[in-house]
Amino acid sequence: MKVLILGLGQYPQGSGVSAALFFAKQGDDVIATDLKSARELAGNVSRLKKYPNVRLHLGGHDARDVRWADLIVRNPRVRVDAPEMVEARRLGKTVTSDVALFLESCLALVIGVTGTRGKSTTSALVVEMLKSSGKRVWLGGNMLVSPLTFLGRVKKNDLVVLELSSWQLEVLGDRGISPQVAVWTNLMRDHLNTYAGMEEYAEAKAQIFRHQKPEDVVFLPADPTFDGFAASAPGNVKRVMCHGKRKNMELIGEHNQRNAAMASAVA
Mean pLDDT, 10 residues at a time, over the chain (267 residues)?
97 97 98 97 97 97 96 94 95 98 98 95 97 97 96 98 96 97 90 81 96 98 95 97 65 79 95
Q: Are 261 and 246 in contact (CB under 8 A)?
A: yes
Confidence at residue 108, expressed as pLDDT on a 0 to 100 scale: 98
Confidence at residue 247, expressed as pLDDT on a 0 to 100 scale: 63
Confidence at residue 243, expressed as pLDDT on a 0 to 100 scale: 62
Confidence at residue 58, expressed as pLDDT on a 0 to 100 scale: 97
CA distance 95 to 108: 24
Confidence at residue 17, expressed as pLDDT on a 0 to 100 scale: 98
Confidence at residue 190, expressed as pLDDT on a 0 to 100 scale: 64
Confidence at residue 257, expressed as pLDDT on a 0 to 100 scale: 87
SS (H, E, C) the chain: CEEEEECCCCCCCCHHHHHHHHHHHHCCEEEEEECCCCCCCHHHHHHHCCCCCEEEEECECCHHHHHHCCEEEECCCCCCCCHHHHHHHHHCCEEECHHHHHHHHCCCEEEEEECCCCHHHHHHHHHHHHHHCCCCEEEEECCCECHHHCHHHCCCCCEEEEECCHHHHHHHHHHCCCCCEEEECCCCCCCCCCCCCHHHHHHHHHHHHHCCCCCCEEEEECCHHHHHHHHHCCCEEEEECCCCCCCCCCCCCHHHHHHHHHHHHHC
